């Protein structure tokens, strides 16, 4: 077993769990392609669907997807509704595509909000240290001690649970990872020469933080943003699934899953399709995040 006796430098290289060499840039490519497809579908939703996402059709309820026609000769499964219809006769493909808009909107808006809060706190803690650091650490510990799902549920329950409320609630809860990571990278950047130089030149503190440090810690910031975006999308889906997130008739994927739950026995495809949408979106975002991290790590070492 001499092959497993590796030197410390090999250990550093092997420590990061990287995709196989051929797939390493592939992770970015695959993730990026799926993500772009979903974003494009969401943006051009009216062009690639031929129904109204809210239009109900009593005579075409619970129509199965097209492959039921291919494999089991189901007479109702036609290209009119390629992914079938839900219990109210709404076209599933159309709702799936419009649902991507909601997930992406919530993911982006929440990440921007939590990113602003977390980055501000983290950079302040990392740059000023001492008491500021203590206060921020305390805030992060407090935030981590609060169960996100429960607090979000309790707040959303009576606030009329609109899209905006869900974004505000998740945005004000999911900043902890931003703060932790930005604190540590700012601490490292603070003692670098370029910061000392800027201080010697008499630059103002905001200018040093925003003009000098922020561009140099942008890489980890973007990686965390992908993680938190995926997180926010999952939380929205979970809240909507529990009936306390985005409200009907909006086509949120979590809500579609909740509505399909009662049809689980006879129409299992109804829960499979929106779940696949969520799975593909989260996987794509994670792959992009992993790819970006690998890219920044190898560049940092070169």
Binding site for other proteins (CB under 8 A): 1, 4-8, 10-11, 14-20, 138, 141-142, 144-151, 153-159, 230, 234, 237-238, 241-244, 257, 261, 264-265, 268, 271-272, 275, 278-279, 282-283, 286-287
Q: How far is the CB of 95 from other proteins (least distance, A)?
A: 16
Q: Which is nearer to other proteins, 129 or 243 (CB)?
A: 243
Distance CA 224, CA 125 (A): 17
What Cα–Cα distance (Å) separates residue 41 from each residue in 46, 98, 269?
Answer: 9, 8, 21
- Which residues on adjacent β-strands are paired with residue 85? 91
Q: Which is nearer to other proteins, 195 or 253 (CB)?
A: 253
Q: In 10 A of CB 114, how many CB atoms?
A: 27
Contact 65, 269 (CB under 8 A): yes
Q: How far is the CB of 57 from other proteins (least distance, A)?
A: 25
Q: Which is nearer to other proteins, 91 or 236 (CB)?
A: 236
Q: Which is nearer to other proteins, 19 or 112 (CB)?
A: 19
Q: How far is the CB of 237 from other proteins (least distance, A)?
A: 6
Helices (H), strands (E): how many in the chain? Answer: 15, 0
**Alpha carbon of residue 97 to chain centroid:** 17
Q: In 10 A of CB 155, how many CB atoms?
A: 17
Q: How far is the CB of 138 from other proteins (least distance, A)?
A: 7
User: DSSP state, 209?
Assistant: I
Q: How far is the CB of 173 from other proteins (least distance, A)?
A: 11
Distance CA 61, CA 165 (A): 32
Q: Which is nearer to other proteins, 28 or 282 (CB)?
A: 282
Q: Which is nearer to other proteins, 96 or 257 (CB)?
A: 257
Q: How far is the CB of 197 from other proteins (least distance, A)?
A: 29
In a 13 Å sphere around the CA of 184, the CA atoms on its Cβ side amount to 8
Closest alpha carbon to 212 in 186, 250, 230: 186
């Amino acid at each position: 077993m001499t092959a497993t006796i590796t030197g410390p430098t090999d250990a550093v290289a092997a420590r990061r769990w990287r995709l196989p060499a051929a797939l390493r840039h592939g992770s970015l490519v695959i993730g990026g392609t799926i993500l772009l497809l979903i974003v494009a579908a969401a943006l051009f939703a009216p062009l690639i669907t031929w129904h109204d996402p809210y239009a109900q059709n009593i005579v075409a309820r619970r129509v199965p997807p097209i492959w039921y026609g291919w494999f089991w000769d189901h007479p109702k499964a036609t290209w009119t509704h390629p992914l079938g219809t839900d219990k109210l006769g709404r076209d599933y493909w159309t709702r799936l595509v419009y649902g991507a808009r909601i997930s992406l909107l919530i993911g982006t808006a929440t990440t921007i909000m939590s990113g602003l809060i977390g980055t501000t706190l983290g950079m302040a803690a990392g740059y000023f240290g001492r008491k500021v650091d203590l206060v921020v650490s305390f805030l992060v510990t407090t935030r981590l001690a609060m169960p996100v799902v429960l607090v979000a549920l309790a707040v959303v329950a009576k606030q009329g649970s609109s899209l905006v409320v869900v974004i505000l609630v998740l945005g004000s809860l999911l900043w902890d990872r931003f703060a932790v990571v930005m604190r540590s990278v700012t601490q490292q950047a603070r003692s670098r020469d370029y910061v000392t130089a800027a201080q010697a030149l008499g630059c103002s503190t905001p200018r040093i933080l925003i003009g000098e440090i922020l561009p140099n810690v942008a890489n980890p910031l973007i990686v965390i943003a992908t993680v938190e975006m995926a997180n926010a999308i999952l939380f929205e889906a979970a809240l909507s699934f529990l009936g306390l997130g985005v409200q009907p008739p909006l086509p949120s994927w979590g809500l579609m899953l909740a509505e399909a739950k009662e049809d689980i026995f006879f129409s299992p495809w109804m829960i499979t399709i929106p779940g696949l949408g969520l799975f593909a979106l989260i996987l794509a975002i994670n792959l992009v995040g992993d790819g970006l991290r690998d890219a920044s790590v190898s560049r940092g070492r070169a």
